[in-house]
Chain A
Amino acid sequence: MQPSEWFIPYIHTVSEISQYIRALLEGDETLQDIWVQGEISNLSRPSSGHVYFTLKDENAALRCIIWKMNAFRLQALLEDGRAVEVHGSVGVYERGGQYQLYVDNLRPAGEGALFLEFMRLKSKLEAEGLFAEERKRPLPTFPLIIGIVTSPTAAALQDMLNTLRLRFPLAEVVLSPTAVQGEDAPTQIVSALQRINHLVKPDVILLARGGGSLEDLWAFNDERVVRAVVASEAPVVSGIGHETDFTLVDFAADLRAPTPTAAAVLATPDIRDVQAELNEIRNTLINRTDWLLYEKKNNLQQLSFQLEKLSPLSKVRQEIQRMDEINLRLEQFVRHQLQMRRMLVGQWQEHLNSLDPWQVLKRGYAVVSTVDGKIINTVSKARPGQYVDVRLQDGSFGAEIEEIKPFDFRNQSESKTPNS
Chain B
Amino acid sequence: MAKGKVELEKLSYEGALNELKEILERLETQSLELEEILQHFERAKALLQHCQALLDKAELKVRELSGSDESPESNEVEHALD
Interface residue? A200 (CB, 8 A): yes
Interface residue? B1 (CB, 8 A): no
User: Which A residue sits closest to B14, measured CB to CB?
Assistant: A142
Contact: A275 with B55, CB < 8 Å? Answer: yes
CB-CB under 8 A for A152 and B12, given A157-B81, A288-B27, A289-B37 = no
Interface residue? A21 (CB, 8 A): no
User: Which B residue sits closest to A299, measured CB to CB?
Assistant: B34
Contact: B65 with A289, CB < 8 Å? Answer: no
Interface residue? B60 (CB, 8 A): yes
CB-CB under 8 A for A152 and B65, given A142-B13, A195-B70, A292-B37 = no
For B72, what are the chain A residues with a Cβ–Cβ distance below 8 Å?
198-199
Number of A-B contacts (CB under 8 A): 104
A173 to B21, alpha carbons, bound, how many Å?
27
For B34, what are the chain A residues with a Cβ–Cβ distance below 8 Å?
293, 296
For A413, what are the chain B residues with a Cβ–Cβ distance below 8 Å?
none
For B64, what are the chain A residues with a Cβ–Cβ distance below 8 Å?
152, 174-177
Contact: B55 with A285, CB < 8 Å? Answer: no
Say which size band chain B's interface belongs to: 35 or more
CB-CB under 8 A for A170 and B24, given A175-B65, A293-B37 = no
Contact: A288 with B48, CB < 8 Å? Answer: no
Report A294 CB to chain B, min CB distance, Å. 11
For A141, what are the chain B residues with a Cβ–Cβ distance below 8 Å?
14
A164 to B61, alpha carbons, bound, how many Å?
10
Report B78 CB to chain A, min CB distance, Å. 11
Contact: A170 with B27, CB < 8 Å? Answer: no
Say which size band chain A's interface belongs to: 35 or more
Interface residue? A171 (CB, 8 A): yes
A397 to B57, alpha carbons, bound, how many Å?
132
* Chain A 23-72 residues near chain B, CB threshold 8 A: none
* Chain B 1-58 residues near chain A, CB threshold 8 A: 12-14, 17, 20-21, 23-24, 27-28, 32, 34, 37, 40-41, 44-45, 48, 51-52, 54-55, 58
Report B16 CB to chain A, min CB distance, Å. 10
CB-CB under 8 A for A170 and B13, given A161-B60, A274-B55, A288-B27 = yes
Contact: B41 with A285, CB < 8 Å? Answer: yes
CB-CB under 8 A for A284 and B32, given A161-B81, A169-B59, A175-B81 = no
Contact: A285 with B27, CB < 8 Å? Answer: yes
One of B23, B65, B70, B76 near A285 (C-beta < 8 A): B23
Contact: B65 with A196, CB < 8 Å? Answer: yes
For B20, what are the chain A residues with a Cβ–Cβ distance below 8 Å?
281, 285
Contact: B61 with A173, CB < 8 Å? Answer: yes
User: Which B residue sits closest to A165, measured CB to CB?
Assistant: B60
Report A227 CB to chain B, min CB distance, Å. 20
Q: Chain A, 261-297, contact with B by CB distance < 8 Å: what is the 0/1 string? A: 0000000000100110110011011001100110010
Interface residue? A144 (CB, 8 A): yes
Contact: A173 with B63, CB < 8 Å? Answer: yes
One of A142, A161, A195, A289 near B12 (C-beta < 8 A): A142
5 A-B contacts (beta carbon < 8 Å): A174-B76, A175-B63, A278-B52, A285-B44, A285-B45
Other CB < 8 Å A-B pairs besides A144-B13, A168-B58, 5 of them? Answer: A142-B13, A175-B81, A278-B51, A281-B48, A285-B27
3 closest A-B pairs by CB: A142-B14, A169-B58, A172-B61
